Amino acid sequence: MTQLDPIDRKILAQLQRDADVSLDALGESVGLSRNACWRRVKQLESSGVIKKRVALLDPDKLDLSLSVFIQIRTQHHDAGWLEKFARAIEVTPEIVGAYRMSGDLDYLLHARVADMAEYDRLYKRLTSRIELSDVSASFVMEEVKATTALPLE
């Protein structure tokens, strides 16, 4: 684990809110000069704490308003199946998150699609690419909280 001081944490908190903030404004908000702030950000990047900077898009404005959580159970756990499953997930852009789970659920996928018909097409593509024992889906009715910001306290 990387040791972070309070200034590093302030920099990270600000960048999580707005990664496009100018170095001058960032430095001012954390009490550092522009150059000192730049060195800190570069160190956080080179250490891997900052993985990358991205733009967060509004799914509703891109006709991707249906958020789906897909629960998967499988009878297969061998290396060949796992590799095939990972490839199937990787080449499916609608799947925005994939997690191997503990307990009676094997995998949880998060997908973004336009509507139920688009989900059905996704389901058919996924099940044609990989053998699955049980697939069920839950559709998000209301997004109460969704954030990419990690807790830094």
Task: Check if CATH label 3.30.70.920 holds for domain 59-139.
Answer: yes
Measure the CA–CA gap between 106 and 36, rounded to whole angstroms: 46
Q: Is 29 exposed, middle or buried (0-12, 13-18, 19+ CB in 10 A)?
A: middle
| pLDDT tens digits for range 29-47 | 999 999 999 999 999 999 9
Measure the CA–CA gap between 35 and 101, rounded to whole angstroms: 43
pTM above 0.85, yes or no: yes
Domain with CATH 3.30.70.920 in the chain: 59-139
Between 1.10.287.1060, 3.40.50.300, 1.10.10.10, 3.40.50.880, what CATH number should domain 6-46 receive? 1.10.10.10
Domain with CATH 1.10.10.10 in the chain: 6-46
Task: Provide the 8-state DSSP code for 62.
Answer: G
Tens of pLDDT along the chain (153 residues) come to: 678 999 999 999 999 999 999 999 999 999 999 999 999 999 999 999 999 999 999 999 999 999 999 999 999 889 999 999 999 999 999 999 999 999 999 999 999 999 999 999 999 999 999 999 999 999 999 999 999 999 997
